[in-house]
């Protein structure tokens, strides 16, 4: 589904991603872990198509299509969900209105009919039920005055509404409490299926107690330096990231 080969990315004139390879198949959950400043968020941002991230080498394909050639909206229409492509706060804009606009923009790009209010509310109710969420966030302005946990809840709700094929979640800076962590995990777990994949970028092993990944990768200094199953996350928790670097130096 997603194939990243020899990716090199420059930010503000400095190379941050330095030859990264990653392949994600449908049905899989991949965790990307790594020390601060390794380039995890940069990877997310470049997949989101954010401005200021210059790809100097390498390829990224999604279902065989050159993802890097697509505008952010076209990436969303193709089924890629990137939490951070959405504005942080939009004062004065009702969240329900915003979510419907986001969903209908995606449908329009795909040449599908827009959902009317009734159809949209039906979809909203379905997703609220699946996620065990209340509708209180829907009536407020987009993310305005939302706590970190509420923003995260809203992000997971957006993800559920848009039903992506590939969801990329960057949890690093969210400072989640245990309830928000469980909520994110429940949202991901409820949506796991054979046709969908997740890339969960995280710095905390704790999240992976709730979202059990099929693969764990360590991103350090702009590359994937180690990959394994979920036990790799536990080894990292025990030994720290320096352990991976030391093993590499020792030629292990
Ligand atoms: P991580 O998410 O793994 O902690 P980031 O991808 O946020 O790491 O950052 C990787 C490196 O790129 C850091 O050294 C950071 O300072 C630098 N960097 C990221 N974004 C920018 C930017 N917009 N301008 C300058 N440097 C940046
Ligand atoms: Mg290279
Ligand atoms: Mg980060």
* Residue whose CA is at the smallest distance from ligand 1 atom 7: 41
Q: Give the position, in ligand 1's atom list, of the atom nearest the Cα of 201.
A: 2
Average pLDDT, rounded, for the chain = 89
- CA-closest candidate to residue 203, choices 31, 83, 85: 31
Q: What's the mean pLDDT in 236-248?
A: 81
pLDDT digits (tens, 9 = 90+) for 128-140: 998 888 888 888 8
- Ligand 3 centroid to residue 82 C-alpha, Å: 14
Q: Give the position, in ligand 1's atom list, of the atom nearest the Cα of 170.
A: 2
The string of DSSP codes covering 1-61 is -EEEEEEEEEETTEEEEEEEEEEE-TT-EEEEE--TTSSHHHHHHHHHT-TTEEEEEEEEE
- Ligand 1 centroid to residue 19 C-alpha, Å: 16
Residue 45 Cβ < 6 Å to ligand 1: no
Task: State the complex-level ipTM.
Answer: 0.93
Residue 216 Cβ < 6 Å to ligand 1: no
Q: Of the ligands numbered here, which is closest to the C-alpha atom of 84?
A: 3
Residue 172 Cβ < 6 Å to ligand 1: yes
- How far apart are alpha carbons 76 and 103 in whole angstroms? 10
Q: What's the mean pLDDT in 98-126?
A: 91
Report helix angle 178-191 to 148-162, nearest 10: 10
- How far apart are alpha carbons 24 and 95 in whole angstroms? 32
Residue 42 Cβ < 6 Å to ligand 1: yes
- Ligand 1 centroid to residue 80 C-alpha, Å: 22
Q: What's the mean pLDDT in 89-114?
A: 86
pLDDT digits (tens, 9 = 90+) for 10-48: 999 999 999 999 999 999 999 999 988 999 999 999 998
Per-residue pLDDT for 211 more than 70?
Answer: yes
What 3-state DSSP class applies to 73? helix
Q: What is the pLDDT of residue 172?
A: 59
Q: Which residues pair with 68 in a beta bridge?
A: none
Q: Return the CATH class of domain 2-249.
A: alpha beta
Residue spans per domain, the chain: 2-249
* Residue percentage of the chain with pLDDT more than 70: 94
Is the model more confident about 90 or about 180?
Answer: 180
- Ligand 1 centroid to residue 149 C-alpha, Å: 24
The predicted model scores a pTM of 0.91
Is the model more confident about 34 or about 242?
Answer: 34
Per-residue pLDDT for 85 more than 50?
Answer: no
């Amino acid at each position: 589904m997603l194939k990243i080969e020899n990716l090199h990315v420059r930010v503000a004139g400095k190379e941050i991603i330095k030859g990264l390879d990653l392949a994600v198949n449908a049905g899989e959950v991949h965790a990307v872990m790594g020390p601060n400043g390794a380039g995890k968020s940069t990877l997310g941002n470049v997949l989101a198509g954010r401005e200021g991230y210059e790809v100097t080498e390498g390829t990224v394909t999604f279902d065989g299509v050159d993802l890097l050639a697509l505008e952010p909206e076209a990436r969303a229409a193709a089924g890629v969900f990137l939490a951070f492509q959405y504005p942080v706060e939009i004062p004065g804009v009702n969240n329900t209105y915003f979510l419907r606009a986001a969903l209908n923009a995606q449908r329009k790009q795909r040449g599908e009919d827009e959902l009317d209010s009734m159809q949209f509310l039906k979809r909203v109710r379905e997703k609220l039920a699946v996620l065990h969420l209340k509708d209180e966030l829907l009536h407020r302005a987009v993310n305005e005055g939302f706590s970190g946990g509420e923003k995260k809840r809203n992000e997971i709700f957006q993800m559920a509404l848009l039903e992506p094929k590939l969801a990329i979640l960057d949890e690093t800076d969210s400072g989640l409490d245990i309830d928000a962590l469980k909520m994110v995990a429940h949202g991901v777990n409820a949506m796991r299926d054979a046709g969908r994949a997740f890339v969960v970028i995280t710095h905390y092993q704790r999240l992976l107690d709730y979202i059990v990944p099929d693969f764990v990768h360590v991103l350090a200094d702009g590359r994937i330096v180690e990959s394994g199953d979920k036990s790799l996350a536990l080894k990292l928790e025990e030994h720290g990231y320096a352990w991976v670097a030391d093993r590499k130096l020792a030629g292990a």
